[in-house]
């Protein structure tokens, strides 16, 4: 499941016309019958055939209008850029399925050279990747469902007090299970939006749960204010993933890109803050903890790296290539999310006190008088 066979890429070449002032107005029409793909992305690529132009020396004004039909519903996606350089520019991206028809019109104005070329890049998932990702997501959803059931059963039959971290972990594994069950298993725009929201809030809930676990190694830290603030950011992260989809942004917010930018900034700030604070707590606690507790702290650090690193790689790739890849996104958003949730459950896994469950009274000796009461003075002398 590599990036080479996960996506199908189609290139549509464009031709521009020359004018006396060396200004060009290029109009492109895109008509594409798409398969029932999970993802559809359209990019504009402006490049120099001789590679003789610095990409940031010249800029162009771009206006694009793309109509996407899903059944009898048609959504118009509008993008406007006053200044774009040479290279790829995203016109739309969506993970909605059952797309039947796409037609777009693009207006590009700028100072062109004879070697300047225009491409429309249309990307959607390959059929092989669709089937493979569906099978993998269902396998992980089954595993997460079993873990969720066992964890909830043990919490319900546990006689010791339930910790806040266990409640967060229960919510996390439940949210991850729902996310995997929704993957490629909806047929309406509403359920598409629900899946996007769950994908965003589940990722943030993972970071918040790891932060709460890190505070248990430092008794003096205050977690309640951080958890309250975290809930706000979890909701905002869900809205960020919701508005990242061009179809949803067009339907709910009239393609207002500023809304996506606001929630994108909030999501980045929250994740960086949670990662920094969690790592600070873990490193600080590691050098002051006992040998037995150091093992748990080290495991938590490893889980934090497993959860965060693939997402960082995905973001770095998009920033460098200005192009997203389905296989990388699926790995970081779904598979690593499921693995991270299961590992987090392992940290806070409850244990049943069988003596307490049988009704026996357990007395713990805290002083020499308690030992005398439990064992008697003669047996204590023998010990």
Q: How high is the pLDDT of residue 169?
A: 92
In angstroms, the CA 378 to CA 164 distance is 44
Is there a single domain that holds both residue 317 and residue 168? yes
SS3 call for 351: coil
**Residue scoring higher pLDDT (200 or 224):** 200
Question: What's the CA gap between 112 and 16, in Å, rounded?
Answer: 9
Summarize pLDDT for 324-334 with one digit per residue, the tens.
Answer: 778 888 888 89
Could you tell me the two tokens for 155? 């919490």
* Residue with token string 């998009």: 318
pTM: 0.80
Q: What are phi and psi of 180, to 5 degrees?
A: -70, -35
Q: Which residue among 106, 125, 144 closes a domain? A: 125
pLDDT digits (tens, 9 = 90+) for 170-207: 999 999 999 998 887 666 778 888 889 999 899 999 99
Residues 21 and 135 in one domain: no
Tens of pLDDT, residues 274-316: 899 899 989 988 888 877 788 889 999 999 999 998 888 888 8
Q: Are residues 214 and 101 in the same domain?
A: no
CATH of the domain at 10: 2.60.120
Give pLDDT, residue 299.
Answer: 92
What pLDDT does residue 220 have? 62
End-to-end CA distance of the chain: 64
Q: Report pLDDT for 127.
A: 78
Q: In the listed set 81, 110, 125, which residue is the last one of a domain according to the structure?
A: 125
Do 155 and 86 fall within a single domain? Answer: no
| Count of beta carbons in the 10 Å neighbourhood of residue 45 | 19
Residue 121 and residue 132 in one domain: no
Give me the helix-helix angle, 164-182 and 336-347, nearest 10°.
Answer: 160
| CB proximity list for 73: less than 8 A, separation 6 or greater | 189
Higher pLDDT, residue 51 or 348: 348
Same domain, 81 and 150: no
Query: For the chain, what percent of residues have pLDDT higher than 90?
Result: 17
CA distances from 241 to 82, 248, 329, 336 (A): 25, 10, 13, 17
> Is residue 378 in a domain?
no
What is the average pLDDT value for the chain, to the nearest integer?
78
Whether residue 33 has pLDDT greater than 60 = no
Q: How confident is the model at residue 53 (pLDDT cuts 50, 70, 90)?
A: low
Tell me the DSSP string of 233-289: HHHHHHHHHHHTSHHHHHHHHTT-HHHHHHHHHHHHHHHHHHHHHHHHHHHHHHTTS
The CATH number linked to 154 is 1.20.1070
- For residue 143, pLDDT over 60 is answered with yes
Q: Is the pLDDT of residue 109 over 90?
A: no
- Whether residue 141 lies inside any domain: the answer is yes
* Cα-based torsion angle of the residue sequence 213, 219, 220, 225 in order, rounded to the nearest 10 degrees: 40
Q: How confident is the model at residue 10 (pLDDT cuts 50, 70, 90)?
A: low
Closest CA to 37 of 93, 95, 90: 95
Task: Give the dihedral sign, CA 164/166/172/175.
Answer: negative
3-state helix, strand, coil in the chain (%, to 5): 55, 20, 25
Structural domain contains residue 375: no
* Predicted pLDDT of residue 266: 86
Q: What is the model's pLDDT at position 362?
A: 44
Domains in the chain: how many in total? 2
Does the pLDDT at position 5 exceed 60? no
| Secondary element (H or E) of residue 135 | helix 127-156
Note the maximum CA span of the chain. Answer: 112
DSSP single-letter state for residue 335: I
Whether residue 363 is predicted with pLDDT greater than 60 in this model: the reply is: no
Structure token digits, residue 363: 């007395």
Q: Are residues 251 and 234 in the same domain?
A: yes
Query: Is pLDDT of 248 > 60?
Result: yes
Q: Which of 13-22, 151-160, 246-255 is predicted most confidently?
A: 246-255
**Can you give the residue range of the structural domain that contains 144?**
127-350
Q: What is the pLDDT of residue 54?
A: 67
């Amino acid at each position: 499941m590599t990036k080479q066979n996960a996506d199908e890429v189609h290139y549509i070449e464009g031709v521009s016309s020359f004018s006396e002032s060396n200004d060009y107005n290029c109009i492109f029409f895109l008509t594409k019958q798409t398969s029932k793909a999970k993802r559809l992305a359209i990019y504009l690529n402006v490049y120099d055939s001789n590679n003789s132009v610095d990409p940031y020396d010249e800029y162009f004004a771009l206006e694009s209008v793309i109509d996407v039909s899903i059944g009898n519903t048609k959504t118009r996606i509008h993008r406007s850029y006053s200044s774009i350089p040479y290279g790829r520019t995203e016109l739309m991206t969506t993970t909605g399925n059952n797309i039947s028809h796409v037609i777009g019109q693009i207006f590009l104005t700028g100072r062109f050279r004879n070697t300047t070329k225009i491409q429309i890049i249309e990307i959607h998932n390959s059929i092989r990747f669709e089937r493979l990702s569906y099978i993998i997501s269902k396998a992980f959803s089954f595993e997460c469902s079993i873990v969720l059931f066992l964890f909830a059963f043990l919490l319900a039959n546990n006689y010791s007090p339930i910790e806040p971290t266990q409640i967060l972990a229960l919510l996390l594994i439940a949210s991850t299970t729902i996310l995997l069950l929704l993957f490629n298993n909806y047929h309406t725009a509403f359920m598409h939006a629900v899946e996007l929201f769950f994908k965003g809030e589940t990722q943030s809930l993972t970071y918040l749960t790891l932060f709460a676990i890190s505070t248990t190694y430092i008794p003096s830290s205050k977690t309640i204010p951080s958890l309250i603030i975290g809930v706000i950011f979890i909701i905002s992260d869900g809205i960020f993933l919701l508005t990242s989809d061009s179809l949803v942004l067009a339907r709910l917010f009239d393609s207002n890109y500023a809304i996506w930018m606001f929630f994108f900034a909030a999501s980045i700030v929250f994740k960086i803050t949670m990662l920094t604070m969690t790592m600070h707590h873990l490193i600080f606690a590691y050098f002051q903890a006992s040998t037995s507790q150091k093992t748990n702290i080290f495991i938590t650090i490893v889980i934090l790296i497993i959860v965060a690193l693939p997402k960082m790689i995905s973001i770095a790739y998009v920033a460098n290539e200005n192009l997203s890849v389905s296989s990388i996104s699926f790995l970081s958003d779904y598979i690593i999310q499921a693995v991270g949730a299961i590992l987090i459950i392992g940290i806070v896994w409850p244990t049943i006190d069988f003596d307490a469950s049988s009704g026996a009274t357990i007395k713990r000796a805290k002083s020499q008088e308690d030992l005398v009461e439990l064992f008697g003075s003669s047996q204590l002398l023998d010990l």
